[in-house]
Chains A and B, each alone.
Chain A
Amino acid sequence: MALLEVENMSIGYNTKKGYLKAVEGVSFTLEEGASLGFVGESGCGKTTIGMALMGLLPPNGSVREGRILFEGKNTLRMSDEEIRKIRWRKMAMIFQAAMNALNPVQRVGNQIAEAILVHNPSVGKEEAMGQVEALFELVGIPRDRLRDYPHQYSGGMKQRAVIAMALACHPKLIIADEPTTALDVIVQSQILGEIKDLQKEFNLSIIFISHDISIVADMCKDICVMYAGQLVEFGPREEVFESPSHPYTKALLSSFPTVTGKKSDLIPIPGETPNLVIPPAGCRFCDRCSGPGPSCQAEAPEWVEIGPGHKTLCCRC
């Protein structure tokens, strides 16, 4: 049995402008110890998916249809109490902008100890602090910084502290949402290395969300490309990045500058993403696509299998 199975999940938000269909019909599975990356641009729904998995959608958002099976149980049917038991203890999240995820008036060590104490009532305070020390060592923060406040930490250290907090209750699944976006490239590579090592050590399953293709490709074996609330391409990273099939994936790859290889012209994607209050009837990428077919505007595309485990949502592929 897969650790996590998401079937045909759709998520919407009630907004002033109407009902916004943020995620439409997303399905995927994640095995234990596997890594899955979600890549797409702002507003494509990738963070919404992470929040829905954690049961942390804001009050105006809800999962409209579909199922989220975590260890075979549908988390959408669970009571708040039941989901609270899974959250943090079985799945944890590393949030975007970690610098704001820490409480500024509490010592970092205490905050992490608190996470342990809340979720494991049997653990004593001393023991919890001991565990925090071990966690700090794991993520590479010197022990003597345990009693510091968040503002005394650098950006990279705050990020490490947030990772330590996510690991505090030994979860099976970690959802990392843009964990390194605000960091410098050298610190970023250290943190990513850290996450990779921890994944190996604890056989963690990881869902990695980023707008940066190169990071997702570096971190995950399987890739989901998202556009305007839909999955548009799915497959192993070698397949998706070396022989991309969906026009959006291709366009995204060719709009990214690189430091290696031949220098080639970047091709921006013309236009803007569609309004998800009234999503287009046919293919959502149609207006920006370089070679749409005659039926793309009107008919919704279907999944096409183009290789082992490699699928694309495009009727021209």
Chain B
Amino acid sequence: MHKRDESVLEIRDVSKIYKTRGAFFGSSGKDVTALYRISLDIFKGEIFGLVGESGSGKTTMGRLIVGLEDVNSGEIVLDGREIVGLRGRAQKEFRRKVQMIFQDPYQSLNPQRSIYDTVSEPLKIHGIGDASTRKDLVRETLKSVGLSPPDDFFFKYPHRLSGGQRQRVAIARAMILNPEFVISDEPTSMLDASISAQIFNILLELRNKLGVTQLFITHSLAAARYLCDRVAVIYRGNLMEVGPAEEVIRNPKHPYTQALLDAVPKFGHDRDAKRYGTLLAKDRDVEEDAGCVFFPRCAAAHEDRCGRKQPGLSQLGDGHFVACFRLEAMHEA
């Protein structure tokens, strides 16, 4: 489905640090590391999943890629071109190629604009087509996200639509410029299961029919498994594990990924699924922050090693990377 060697997006050693506001008198505030030296490649035509809990930095990653925020260090390269500091025409071109679908369709659509206005606006901004071709394009795009007959929706306003329909409008708005790369940040967290499945299937269709490369940001391993070709698991801004989705989720190697899977409620035959037990019942007291970020909670950790140094990524199998000393040691043995 995707070609290994053709990266659409390269994230090279990206860090993002937020500064908190300090007290009025006194200290100047603390640095909060949202992302720490993340490197990832996203291949052409794949759906790449970024999985993490709240505060892991997954949303920050999405915002950095679309240029809503700037990196502190590192590079983000799209189609061989560094995106930080793009200005003028180059920036406009970049914005045509990269689109984002936000989490909450109740907030991401302007309530005072009709669906037609909302979906056709990107065409106007980029000066594409005349009135009648725009109309045809909007019609086609609405149909492709399952809003049919499209003409019925043209002059409706968001308040008349259900959550699922709104999210389809948001997808249509992102798709109308025929982007190369689409980022969706928890696009179904506000929706019911049966409606989420509709949205998932639309995203899959975008990949299968139009070959759109996607970054899917989620907290749900189950959704990532269903939708993604490859996934990356991040924890407190650090990359823990990357690999083919099925491999990472069925055969996780990092203690944190294993703890996440343990925590997913299971039922039916899955109740007997094996447990990894890699989460400590009570967090370890850690004096310095030098070690692995998961060290304070990790039951598989080795005091001397994991508390002192951060593990690097080591490769396990075909494209499966894990940042854990336990595996480094196994590898050497």
Q: Which residues of A contact B (CB under 8 A)?
A: 41-42, 184-186, 188-189, 192, 211-215, 217-218, 237-238, 241-242, 251-252, 255-261, 263, 266-269, 272
Contact = CB atoms under 8 A, between A and B. Distances in A.
Nearest to B252: A259
The 6 lowest CB-CB distance pairs between A and B, nearest first, are A217-B267, A268-B197, A269-B194, A189-B263, A268-B198, A257-B222
Contacts of A214: 264-267
Contacts of A189: 262-265
Kindly state the interface size class of chain B when it binds its partner: 35 or more
Interface of B: 53-54, 162, 164, 192-198, 200-201, 219-223, 225-226, 246, 249-250, 259-270, 273, 279
B268 A242 contact: yes
A263 B269 contact: no
B268 to A, nearest CB: 5
Nearest to B272: A260
A184 B194 CA distance: 21
A184 B265 contact: no
Contact of B193 (A184, A192, A255, A272): A255
Contacts of A211: 192-193
30 contacts: A184-B53, A184-B54, A186-B53, A186-B259, A186-B260, A189-B265, A192-B265, A211-B192, A211-B193, A212-B193, A214-B266, A217-B267, A218-B267, A242-B268, A251-B194, A252-B193, A255-B193, A255-B196, A256-B197, A257-B197, A257-B200, A258-B225, A259-B221, A259-B264, A260-B250, A261-B269, A261-B270, A263-B226, A268-B197, A272-B164
A185 B268 contact: no
Nearest to A270: B198
B290 to A, nearest CB: 24
Contact of A266 (B164, B200, B265): B200
Contacts of B261: 259
A189 B265 CA distance: 7
A164 B263 CA distance: 22
A189 B279 CA distance: 12
A265 to B, nearest CB: 8
Given A211-B193, A217-B265, A266-B226, A258 B270 contact: yes
Given A257-B220, A263-B226, 15 more contacts: A41-B192, A185-B263, A185-B264, A186-B263, A192-B265, A214-B266, A217-B267, A257-B222, A257-B225, A259-B225, A260-B273, A263-B225, A268-B195, A268-B196, A268-B200
A251 B197 CA distance: 11
B270 A260 contact: yes
A266 B197 contact: yes
A189 B262 CA distance: 9
Contacts of B198: 268
